[in-house]
Copies of this chain bind each other. A is one copy, B any other.
Amino acid sequence: MEESKKKECTVHFEPSGLKVKVRSGTILLKAARRAGIYLSSICGGDGYCGKCKVIIDEGHFESRPTTLLTPDETRENVVLACQTKVLSDMTVTVPKFHTLETSQILMDSDAHRFSELAGEPTAGVFEYDPLVQKLCLEMTPPSVQDHTADHERLYFAIREKIDAPIMQTGIRILQKLPSVLFKANYKVAVTIGHRGGTTEVIEVEPGRRCETNFAVAVDLGTTTVVAHLIDLTHATTVDTEAKYNSQINFGEDYIRRIIYVEENEAYDEMQNRIVHDVNDLIVTLASRQKIDLQDITAVICAGNTAMIHFLLNLDPRRIRKEPYVASASFVPPIRAAEVGIQIDKRGLLYCLPSVAAYIGSDIVAGVLTTRIYTKKGISLFVDIGTNGEVVLGNRDWLACASSSAGPAFEGSGVKHGMRAQAGAIEKLDILGDGSTEYKTIGNKHPAGICGSGLLDILAELFINGIIDRTGRFITDGESRVTEADEGKQFQIAPADGNHHEIVITQADINNLVRSKAGVFAAIRVLMESTQTKTEDLDAIYLAGGFGNFLNVRQAVTIGMLPDVPIEKIQFMGNTSIAGAKTVLLSRKALEAAEEIAKSMTYFDLMSHPKYMDEFIKASFMPHTDLALFPSVAENIMHHA
């Protein structure tokens, strides 16, 4: 035994064909990671999420006992990769259902729509003045009468075109400047970038290639990373792309990832993973649009505070420890290459400003996009992602809070949950006989359920009396609910030949109810702290990676949003990337974002005396206090 522990074993993974050599005794999850296979793992390898199931086809192994495998699975050599040690050469099959498709870039169907949502308001509201721009300059060459040095000649020419009181140029540009200017007879394209009050000359090229200037806006989500390719010269979105955040196998939420980083000294690894994702997206967009990477001169990111820390390899440890402090809320622009992002080698990386450890720049972007900071009336902004952040306020004040809602509405922690991509059930009705009518994205065979579908299901199960106000399945005389190995469940789509059935389980419902309760409790704390009544709300803006056909009424039905007239609620899509794009295209928008970040008052729910109380009250459908949801009460009456 001792001897075998030291020997080297080759592990073959099927169907990918990838293989890796590891020492005997290595945990199979680690071996897979090293082979480049990212198994889903919500718990970060702690052995309780049951997501990292694989089948051992051949070879010796040692597995810890678990209740997460059925007797059938155990018989078929299904194991949890995180609980299994490699003891010999082996062949392992990774079920398709359980892999994260990180190597395959997934088109985000929503992204296009979000880009449309985000595209137009900007142009009207903020003047076009992008953070990075190319200028065509035609200078008069030096003469005996005018022997101004090349560097100062360039500055004069730039300042004739734009406002740039403080300018900076790196030594590499200075070194090549004279020969570029001389050869081009002083007709050049200059790339300039605004860096916190200074304007930097990033590049000087001969001739007039000033039209070709692109940037990438990125929403760094805990679960999903979305990128939009922007033509900076024409202020248009050229293409969009999205993929799973491949940090996910270090933990589903960022708190768990911070713990992983700390315990494993895995700072660089965590950074490399997200940088790799961003590079993947950039390369995909650039190659699809036939754009040189060196013509991409900027990347702008919005995301929660932890994700921004991972990207920049800032120390994230104190985000999760009282008093919950970020390394930086206002991150200065740096060269993208400094963190390994592969665009033009002198291109810049911007991060939108954030408010606190648990209110990131994605939320600032949301406030910017919804413009609630300019309005006289009070608005509520709710962003449902892996966490649920809430902002309440108007042009005079802004209050915010973050509920660790969990990623249920993003499809995680839900048996058949998935991102809003092809095959996701995004809309659903339950008919009187318990049968379902649904719509999938791309009209594909149902592969799972995305956020808007989950919202529909929860509301429909409730309205149709299939679950009670606590979210529990009602089984008395209820034939639509069946009993499975893992407990009660409701079938949404049956299995057929190649496809498994799609169900919603009691555990799924419990997760969804917890999520919505967290969000609503956060809303209540902010409203009560600011003495805002439901009737004071002029507008509610809902953001998040839901599907295309989000029925906002259902968010009221389940008690996630306050019961206001439905026309006051607007679904805004991905406001994080929309805000990032707005800032990218206007210095004034960046200034606005900075003002927003400075002016927001953060409420720490963990230490708030009323939050737990509100959470318990909100853990009912729609709420313990039906008086808060008069329209829902009426609807229940109607169905009953």
Return chain B residues, CB-CB under 8 Å to A149.
325-330, 356
Contact B334 A166 (CB under 8 A): no
Residue contact B313 to A175, C-beta cutoff 8 Å: yes
**Once the chains are docked, how many angstroms separate the CA of A151 from the CA of B327?**
6
Q: When chains A and B are docked, how far (Å) is the Cα of A357 from the Cα of B334?
A: 34
Q: How far is the CA of A179 from the CA of B265 in the complex (A)?
A: 14
Instruction: For A329, list chain B residues within 8 Å (CB).
Output: 148-149, 151-152
Whether A604 and B144, one on each chain, are in contact in the complex, defined by CB atoms closer than 8 angstroms, is: yes
| Closest residue on chain B to residue A349 by CB atoms | B171
The residue from B175, B334, B338, B607 contacting A314, defined by CB atoms under 8 A apart: B175
> Bound state CA distance, A156 and B177, in angstroms?
38
Answer whether A322 and B144 are a contact pair too, CB < 8 Å, given A171-B338, A178-B315: yes
Copies of this chain, tallied across the complex: 2
Tell me, yes or no, whether A588 is within 8 Å of chain B by CB.
no
Contact assessment for A332 and B168 in the assembled complex, using a CB-CB cutoff below 8 Å: yes
Most buried by B among A174, A312, A339: A174
- CB-CB contacts of A232-252 with B at 8 A, as 1s and 0s? 000000000000000000000
Give the distance in Å from the alpha carbon of A198 to the alpha carbon of B196 in the complex: 9
Question: Given A169-B332, A171-B334, A197-B197, A147–B323 Cβ distance below 8 Å?
Answer: yes
Report the bound CA distance from A147 to B171 in whole Å. Answer: 38
Q: Is A165 on the interface with B (CB-CB < 8 A)? A: yes
Contact A174 B356 (CB under 8 A): no
A356: nearest residue on chain B (CB-CB)?
A: B147
Q: What class of interface size applies to chain A in its complex with B?
A: 35 or more
- Using an 8 Å CB-CB cutoff, how does the interface string of A155-189 with B read, 1 for contact, 0 for none? 00000000001111111001111110010000000
A323-B147, A329-B151 are known contacts. Are A312 and B166 too (CB-CB below 8 A)? no
Contact B312–A174 (Cβ < 8 Å): yes
For A145, give the chain B residue with the smallest CB separation.
B323
Known: A149-B328, A166-B166, A328-B151. A142 touches B323 (CB 8 A): yes
Contact between chains at B152 and A330 (CB < 8 Å):
yes
**A150: interface (CB < 8 Å):** yes
Give the complex CA separation of A178 and B328 in angstroms.
9
The reply to whether the CB of A415 lies closer than 8 angstroms to some CB of chain B is no
CB-based contact B326/A150 at 8 Å: yes
The answer, yes or no, to whether A610 is at the interface (CB within 8 Å) is: no
CA–CA, A512 to B255, complex, Å? 78
Select which of B171, B197, B325, B334 is within 8 A of A312 by beta carbon: B171
Would you call the interface of chain A mostly helix, strand, loop, or mixed? loop
A328 in contact with B147 given A178-B314, A179-B315, A315-B175 (CB within 8 Å): no
- CB of A273 closer than 8 Å to a CB of B: no
**A331 at the binding interface (Cβ < 8 Å):** yes
**In the complex, what residues of B have CB within 8 A of residue A331's CB?**
151, 174
Q: Which of B166, B169, B318, B330 contacts A197 (CB 8 A)?
A: B166
Docked pose: A104 CA to B147 CA in angstroms? 40
Q: How far is the CA of A326 from the CA of B181 in the complex (A)?
A: 12
Binary flags per residue of A129-144, CB closer than 8 Å to B gives 1, else 0: 0000000000000111
Please, which residues of chain B bring their CB within 8 A of the CB of A142? 323, 325
Task: Report the Cα distance A67→B609, complex, angstroms.
Answer: 100
Task: Please determine whether B323 and A151 come into contact, CB atoms closer than 8 angstroms.
Answer: no
Best-surrounded residue of A178, A312, A339, A357 (most CB of chain B within 10 A): A178
Most buried by B among A150, A179, A331: A150
Cβ-closest chain B residue relative to A143 = B323
In Å, the complex CA distance between A547 and B331 comes to: 54
Q: Which of A195, A313, A315 has the most CB of B within 10 A?
A: A315
Q: Is A324 an interface residue (CB 8 A)?
A: yes
Contact A328 B174 (CB under 8 A): yes
Q: Is A602 an interface residue (CB 8 A)?
A: yes
Partner of A147, one of B168, B315, B357: B357
Give the CA-CA distance A216 to B476 in the complex, in Å. 87
State whether A168 and B182 are in contact (beta carbons under 8 Å apart), knowing that A147-B324, A325-B147 are contacts in the complex. no
**Please, how many angstroms separate the alpha-carbon atoms of A182 and B357 in the complex?**
16
- Residues of chain B within 8 A of A197, CB atoms compared: 165-166, 197-198
A525: min CB distance to chain B, Å:
16
Among residues of B, the one whose C-beta sits closest to the C-beta of A333 is B168
The closest CB in chain B to the CB of A318 belongs to B178
Smallest CB separation, A266 vs chain B (Å): 15
List, sorted by A's number, 12 A–B pairs whose CB atoms are closer than 8 Å: A148-B329, A151-B330, A152-B330, A166-B198, A167-B196, A168-B196, A171-B313, A174-B314, A174-B332, A175-B312, A176-B315, A177-B328
A-B pairs with lowest CB-CB distance, top 9 = A151-B328, A166-B197, A149-B326, A178-B315, A149-B329, A142-B325, A144-B323, A178-B327, A171-B334
- Which chain A residues have a beta carbon within 8 Å of chain B's beta carbons? 142-144, 146-152, 165-171, 174-179, 182, 195-198, 312-315, 317-318, 322-332, 334, 338-339, 356-357, 602, 604, 607
5 further interface pairs, Cβ-Cβ under 8 Å (given A168-B195, A178-B314, A182-B318): A144-B322, A166-B196, A171-B312, A178-B327, A179-B315
